[in-house]
Amino acid sequence: MKYLATFIVLFVVYLFLAGFTVYELILGGIVSAALTVILVKYVNFSIDWQFPIKLVKFIFIYLPVFIWKLLLANLDVAKRVLSPKIPLNPGIVKIKTNLQGDFGKLALANSITLTPGTLSIDVEGDSLYIHTVDVKGKNEEENRERISEPFEKILGGIFK
């Protein structure tokens, strides 16, 4: 299945860059297959039969939330930057996550970086260290609820 995953990634990238003509389909298939044989030993992700379901979930459940949060984050940045005295109460907080896989943690950390007022600095085991512009929560639980809970729920259903 590692071969299949590598092949699909390479083939999709090739087609998106080259276009969807018959010649490109054939040539892309050959090139992707050749590259798959070379690259597969550096690849550490795999797919299973649930992959299409996960992809649909990712696109239709996760992405709208993510884009909405990204818009909110930018409005937040705009508000802070344009106010005469910048309102700040910064701190680095630690947050536990239940996600196990590397891809889940990557998606969670990236989502946290692009949501309002937070920046993930480091991931270590199952804890993330996050810089927030405004520390509101008194303890770890409150911070967790405020920062990572909405994404954790969605990503938990996709990446486990």
Residues in contact with another protein by the rule CB under 8 A: 13, 15-17, 19-20, 70-71, 73-74, 77-78, 80-82, 86, 88-94, 106, 109-110, 113-114, 117-122, 124, 129, 131, 133, 135
* Closest distance to another protein from the beta carbon of 100 (Å): 20
All residues at 6 or more sequence positions from 7 whose CB lies less than 8 Å from its CB, including other chains: 32, 33, 36
Decide if 130 contacts 90 (C-beta within 8 A): no
* Closest distance to another protein from the beta carbon of 2 (Å): 20
Q: Is 160 helix (H, G, I), strand (E, B) or coil?
A: coil
Distance of CA 119 to the CA centre of its chain: 13
* Closest distance to another protein from the beta carbon of 156 (Å): 20
Nearest CB to another protein, comparing residues 37 and 140: 140
Instruction: Give dist(CA 15, CA 35) in Å, integer.
Output: 14
Question: Which among 55, 122, 52 has a CA at the least distance from the CA of 93?
Answer: 122
Nearest CB to another protein, comparing residues 44 and 49: 44
Nearest CB to another protein, comparing residues 20 and 49: 20
* Closest distance to another protein from the beta carbon of 26 (Å): 18
Nearest CB to another protein, comparing residues 3 and 68: 68
Instruction: Give dist(CA 52, CA 158) in Å, integer.
Output: 11
